[in-house]
Amino acid sequence: MNVHVEHHPEHSRFQATVEGHLCVAEYELHGREMHMTHTVVPAPVGGRGIAAELVRTALAHAQAHGLRVKPVCSYVRAYMQRHPETLALQA
């Protein structure tokens, strides 16, 4: 599935709207650390890889901006474990 993810730093989140449903990966910046706090994909559009794309985009942003990532959200922790190439970003 092709998901268009947008970064909204004013709301501290990455988001995508899929079939009218807002899907988000929220974060908090603490200095040079991006604490990934919450990932939400509503049930009607779940199971399509949307959360993975939100997190992939967020981690790519962190890497491009020299940020470390603290995976507070259990989904982000699991994603990073499934993608060991992202573990170098972990705070």
pLDDT at 6: 98
**Reported confidence tier of residue 2, pLDDT bands at 50, 70, 90:** confident
Comparing CA positions, the residue from 69, 7, 72, 73 lying closest to residue 40 is: 73
Report the C-alpha gap between 24 and 7 in whole angstroms: 10
pTM comes to 0.95
Rounded (10°) angle between helices 74-82 and 50-64: 80
Average pLDDT over every residue of 72-81: 97
Q: Please report which confidence band the pLDDT of residue 64 belongs to, taking 50, 70 and 90 as the band edges.
A: very high
Q: Give residue-wise pLDDT tens across range 7-53.
A: 999 999 999 999 999 999 999 999 999 999 999 999 999 999 999 99
> Using the 8-state DSSP alphabet, how is residue 3 labeled?
-
Helix, strand or coil for residue 32?
Answer: coil
